Amino acid sequence: MGNPATAASGVWSNNFPTYRVNGTEASIKHQISSQWTVFGGVTTLDSSLSNLPYAPKTAVSVGVNGKISEYRVAFDAQHQSSMYSLTQDRGDFNPNQVGSLTVANARVARPVAALGKKGEVYAAVNNLFDANYQYNAGYPMSGRNFRVGLIASF
């Protein structure tokens, strides 16, 4: 069961080997008109440990936000290369590889003044193209899913 004093202190050890990570990151945001903004980013990581968990070699994100009439529209997508993840047993260093992924999302919202300054009703689609992917080995993410809701501010 372990040492209760150690568990109570919140101190735990892991069996990660020593490693070093070098990387680069760049992002851009550009307002293409008074109503539309595009953005993108890229991150590259180079780890001395080839199976370092949650460190994909490449991650890219892109998106666009804008207005069509009184509706706010947003689209974003991300891609990341394959990476390793850890199992539930955090006492051991036992990474498992998960494949690369590409996921896109979309959202449409309409401001509603009666709900406050930031009030709106919205509809969103996550995983727009129904990609099959995992961030953690053995735990698949949801397929295409839909949300509707409202946000009120007081």
The pLDDT tens digits of the residues spanning 68-92 come to 999 999 999 999 999 999 876 656 6
Mean pLDDT of 95-122: 95
Threshold 0.85, pTM exceeds: no
Confidence band for 14, pLDDT divided at 50, 70 and 90: low
Kindly report the CA angle at 121 between 116 and 124, in degrees rounded to 5?
140
The pLDDT tens digits of the residues spanning 21-77 come to 999 999 999 999 999 999 999 999 999 999 898 999 999 999 999 999 999 999 999
User: Residue 30's beta-bridge partner residues?
Assistant: 38
pLDDT score recorded for residue 138: 86
Alpha-carbon distance values, 144 to 118, 124, 140 (Å): 27, 10, 12
Per-residue buried b or exposed e for 68-98, using 16+ beta carbons within 10 Å of the residue's own CB: eeeebbbbbbebbeebbbbeeeeeeeebeeb
pLDDT at 93 over 80: no
pLDDT score recorded for residue 70: 95
pLDDT at 1 over 90: no
Torsion of CA 47, 53, 58, 63, to 10 degrees: -140
